[in-house]
Amino acid sequence: MLTKDVETMAGAAQGKADICEHYPVKFFIRAIMAGFFIVVATILSNVSAAVLYSTYPQFGKLLGAFLFSIAIVLIVFIGGELFTGNNMTMAMGAYAGTCTWKQVLKVWLVSYIGNFVGAFFLSFLFVKSGASHQILVDYYNSFLAAKLSAPPMQLFLRGVLCNFCVCLAVLTGTRMKSESGKLIVMFCVIMAFVVSGFEHCVANMGTFSIAYLLFGSINPVLLAKSMICVTLGNIVGGALLLAAPLKLMSAEK
């Protein structure tokens, strides 16, 4: 990682902070769009895995993980403000001095809220469309309880590892020159976190929104515990586990 790469990322952080400050509606819409893209990938991944769940569950898991990677591809190629990606970018800006921690927290908060609005709205449209209802009900029943009831430390660590992978994919998308190279690496890195069972707070916004709309309720205490632990883990994974070492190891050549 070269110093110029850190400077580029720090400049991007400054740009995000400026847009969030001076054009908040535009920034919020970008965050909503990122939520849309995550839910598109969540629907594709879950429905594909659900189709194969009863006959080839292992293959279904691999296929679902592979297809979820389209989320980061859409965000990198089309644009959008993803909370988890901004964990790395904005932290790098703070480390490099191009933005303040107050600006970092504001970008994170607006991104998080916008991602939720986008995720819930598209989940609402999907469930109300009636598409794939029964197959998803059966599939969600197979994992939802375990996902919600996992111990807090496990959820936190899964969040840390997840966003380490996600931010690697985002970093790859910004650094590689070849479009095909970007696609290959992003698909592989995102597939790694999904197959491993790591936790992504924005993807969970989509998953839990769909589950809530399908079943009519979710235990609010377990939901809050899961979202808080995973969100904190995602922040640590992007801002500390990846961004901090990248800044420390950067060199002139």
The reply to whether 136 falls in a domain is: yes
CA distance 159 to 211: 20
**pLDDT at residue 2 in the model:** 67
The reply to whether 181 falls in a domain is: yes
Per-residue pLDDT of the chain (253 residues), as tens digits, is 667 878 889 999 999 999 999 999 999 999 999 999 999 999 999 999 999 988 998 999 999 999 999 998 899 889 999 999 999 999 999 999 999 999 999 999 999 999 999 999 999 999 999 999 889 999 999 999 999 999 999 999 999 999 999 999 888 866 777 888 888 888 889 999 999 999 999 999 999 999 999 999 999 999 999 999 999 999 999 999 999 999 999 866 5
Instruction: Give, as one character, the DSSP assignment of residue 150.
Output: S
CB 119 within 8 A of CB 206: yes
Q: How many domains does the chain have?
A: 1
CA distance 179 to 38: 21
Instruction: Give, as one character, the DSSP assignment of residue 54.
Output: T
The tokens describing 206, both together, are: 């989509």
The reply to whether 197 falls in a domain is: yes
The reply to whether 223 falls in a domain is: yes
The tokens describing 128, both together, are: 């109300």
CB 148 within 8 A of CB 223: yes
**pLDDT at residue 205 in the model:** 98
The reply to whether 98 falls in a domain is: yes
The reply to whether 253 falls in a domain is: no
CA 115 to chain centre: 9
Domain range enclosing 68: 3-248
Looking at the chain, the number of H-run helices and the number of E-run strands are 12, 0
What is the CATH number for 194? 1.20.1080.10
The reply to whether 106 falls in a domain is: yes
